[in-house]
Amino acid sequence: MKDNVFNEIKDLITEARNPASEDIDDKCTREILEIINQEDQGVPKVVEKEIPYIVQAVDILVEVFKSGGRLFYIGAGTSGRLGVLDAAEIPPTYGTDPGLVQGIIAGGEKALVRAQEGLEDIAELGVKDLMDRGFNKNDVACGVAASYRTPYVLGAVKKAREIGAKTIYVTCNPRSEIKLDVDVAICPVVGPEVVMGSTRMKAGGATKLVLNMLTTASMIRLGKVYGNMMVDLKMTSRKLEERSKRVVMMVTGVSYEKAAAVLDEAKGHVKTAIVMILAGIGAGEAKQRLIESNGFVRQALG
């Protein structure tokens, strides 16, 4: 008798065989790369079709963030790593608290560098890992699972739903096949992989695009960007120090030396420095204006 998992995966499009690459093992290096590249080109178009659902998810995230809630990505394997990666990059880019966006992966930190595949089959572990982070009804759980069926992820998202939290699910299988009660399902169906079942490829690419869109759009909606420049970054490295000066220079037109001096007065806060220069005011008043405008530079400038 066939195993239940066999029956679960045999009809998934992420586990199907791709006719475009059926004889890829008989190709030269250039032909292999051309097949991969040709398949990859369709990924952004597939993600584009999901924008209406991504809009819904971003609107949920913005409201939750404004109310003091947090976003938790939860996944296994490639999906889990992508969630952890997106979460890790938010604080240095947008100056947020590290707890605002968190990534949970089956197997913990060890799974980031060495596969811990068996743990994805334990639904109870997903629940435990989520709740151990202090997850509550004011937060958002975003399950990330290319195949959709990952027990670790399904268990965590179901628990989040049970306690009254908002839920999002990102998968690369069709919406019609998702039998899960969530607030928003985002389903970029990229089709069979070049190497059958290797969802780190097209599915991984689509997932990364979606996660980038979720957090980037949310941060813009929260006033973390002025024009198209990050203005809430933290000067925690030499690169970020120099990027901060460059942003101030580009927005205000001042010299390198002036930008450095005003940033020093603003205690390294780019938004404050910009408002100080463009409004011709001191650091204290600039900070107050930003408080009154909920952190939006454009509104602080009137």
**Planar angle of CA 223, 139, 206, nearest 5 degrees:** 70
From the centroid of its chain, how far is CA 280? 37
Q: Specify the pairing of strand 140-144 against strand 166-170.
A: parallel
The alpha helices in 41-145, defined as continuous H runs, are 43-49, 51-66, 77-94, 110-113, 123-132
Q: Return d(Cα 138, Cα 65) in angstroms, integer.
A: 9
Query: DSSP 3-state assignment of 102?
Result: strand
Helix (H) or strand (E) holding 171: none
Query: Counting beta carbons within 10 angstroms of the beta carbon of residue 26, is it exposed (0 to 12), middle (13 to 18) or buried (19 or more)?
Result: exposed
Give strand ranges (E) for the chain: 71-75, 101-105, 140-144, 166-170, 184-186, 225-226, 229-230
Quick one: three-class SS letters along 29-52?
A: HHHHHHHHHHHHCCHHHHHHHCHH
Distance CA 207, CA 219 (A): 18
Tell the burial category of 278 from Cβ atoms under 10 Å away from its Cβ (0-12, 13-18, 19+): middle
Q: Cite the active site residues.
A: 89, 120
